[in-house]
Amino acid sequence: MQHGGPALYTLLLWWFSTGVILYLNGLPRATHKWTFGAATVLLGVALLGVAASADDTRVSGAYLAFTSALTVWAWQEVGFLLGYVTGPRRIACPPSSRGWRRVGHAVMAILYHELALLVLGGAIAALSWGQPNQLALWTFAVLWLMRLSAKLNVFLGVRNLNEQFLPEHLRYMHSYFRQRPGNGLFPVCVIAISALTGLAWHSAVANQLGAFETSACSFVAMLLSLALLEHWFMVLPLPSEKLWDWGMRSRAPHA
């Protein structure tokens, strides 16, 4: 149960929270300010959770740290998809842009989002600095690195862009993506994530670890496993978006 509990919890939280964010994002634009306000309140509660769990090395402390870090991450997801935390460039990438010019346009389109990630990551690091429970920081670091890998791959080109997840006010973001069978970075990312996932699961099943360490490693290992799955979703001919059909239903009446 020390492995299965955290793994199942991570899977359900990943699936459910993604669907909820998509559902809220698909509601009429007038509701978005209330959604973002509620998300900001939850962000404050989550940061308190990070601080409260930092010196807690019980299994419950691992669950609190992981949930808090995921809630902090959810705030920036909500802020980005609602269009409040994106970047100074809010227009499509010119078709003629190539090379570093295209890179510069893409960076400016998500600059505030990237800065927000640095601030949030720094806040988690500060709240847990020198404490025995570093799971919140590890969770946020894994999410950040895996999202960075995904961003680079959709920028360079992958088969499945899942642009249907973008709301109408962010449709211009699709111009910064590239649809192609694959790119040279993708296999490097998959190999690296596979290696990290293997190391995390190996640590999780090591007999010498205590209950807290086993749970913490299981959380990280399952999160890496899901990141690896999401990377494969980018290139395999699978309708992965069907997993969150229920979250997209809010767009139907006013699409």
- Per-residue pLDDT of 94-139, as tens digits, reads 888 888 899 999 999 999 999 999 999 999 999 999 999 999 999 9
**pLDDT of 156 over the 70 cut:** yes
The whole-model pTM stands at: 0.93
Residue 87 CB coordination number (10 Å):
18
- Per-residue pLDDT of 208-245, as tens digits, reads 778 899 999 999 999 999 999 999 999 988 777 788 88
CA pair distance 100, 114, nearest whole angstrom: 18
CA pair distance 139, 159, nearest whole angstrom: 28
List, in sequence order, the alpha helices (H) in 167-242: 185-204, 211-233
CA pair distance 201, 106, nearest whole angstrom: 35
CA pair distance 161, 50, nearest whole angstrom: 33
Tokens 């799971």 — which residue?
135
Cα torsion for 74, 112, 35, 252, to the nearest 10°? -90
CB 73 within 8 A of CB 61: no
Q: What percent helix, strand, coil does the chain show, rounded to 5? A: 75, 0, 25
- Collapsed DSSP state (helix, strand, coil) of residue 158: strand
All structural domains of the chain with their residue ranges: 4-251
Question: Under 8 Å CB-to-CB from 93, ≥6 apart: which residues?
Answer: 102, 105, 106, 109, 172, 175, 176
- Per-residue pLDDT of 30-83, as tens digits, reads 999 999 999 999 999 999 999 999 999 999 999 999 999 999 999 999 999 999
Whole-number mean pLDDT of the chain?
91
